[in-house]
Structure 1
Amino acid sequence: MALCRTGQARACFGLARAVEIELDVEGQATVKFPFFMAACAAGDANACTNAGATATRGSWIAGTRPAVAEARECQVRTYEMACTAQAPWGCYMLGAEWAQAGDIAKARDAWQRVCDVDADGSACEAARSQLD
């Protein structure tokens, strides 16, 4: 926690992941989201991706979900930034946002970029399943 407070992205990301893995309770997102956001603010593009996904897909304590971060416009900006920063899951999530909006051409482009960034990773595997 002390390292996260000093702005060390890896420490903040690690705390968020520890909560994600070890705290399997309703409202988990309320606890892990601030750590992902702190890591994102410290420059970790993967943390930005996880913060965005947590905002929309996480389990929140009533009244704590961040409405701005949940908004589609914020989601697209977050995933575009993460994808540009070479975060494979950022590209994958960007593709999912475009697919949900009905823009299949943009979705396919984002999913192809996943594999351009990391051809052997799990995000590429997931993207290939969308491209097939």
Structure 2
Amino acid sequence: MDFDRSRKVEEVECFINDVLKEDLRKVYENREKIHGKIRDYVLLKDTVQNIIDGKFPEDGLKTKIDIGCNFYVQGNVTDPSTVFVHIGYGFFLEFPLRDAVPFINKRINYLSDLANKDSKSCATIKAYIKVLQESLPHVQDASEKQRKL
């Protein structure tokens, strides 16, 4: 009987370390990716809003474009009246500047909801880990008391 309890304790410890902590790590990574996308959309929204407000010169915008592996080339945007926005699954859609802002806001809200769901998942997994870790000493104490009897 004592052997069964110690084996169960060991199984629970393995479950915590191998399953729950791994799930928690994956949810954290996914949440960080989502927060990175939110940052990109907020930056795009600010840039589009600055162009709409006329805070850039009329002769065009100078920019740097990442062509991969952190190699940049200088670009010049002569007509900043439209912007290409990533709409998902590798597709981009050309928007007039005024129409891009509401879409970007919707996308930010959607991604924020996903991040909130991941945060709730993190809290749930942490609670499971804590409950299991706090119950292990009680099981071990019970097995020691039973051994003394």
Which structure would you say has the larger Rg? 2
Larger RCO (CA under 8 A, 6+ residues apart): 2
User: When the two structures are superposed, what TM-score results if normalisation uses the length of structure 2?
Assistant: 0.25
Q: Which has the higher strand share?
A: 2
User: When the two structures are superposed, what TM-score results if normalisation uses the length of structure 1?
Assistant: 0.27
Q: Which has the higher helix share?
A: 1
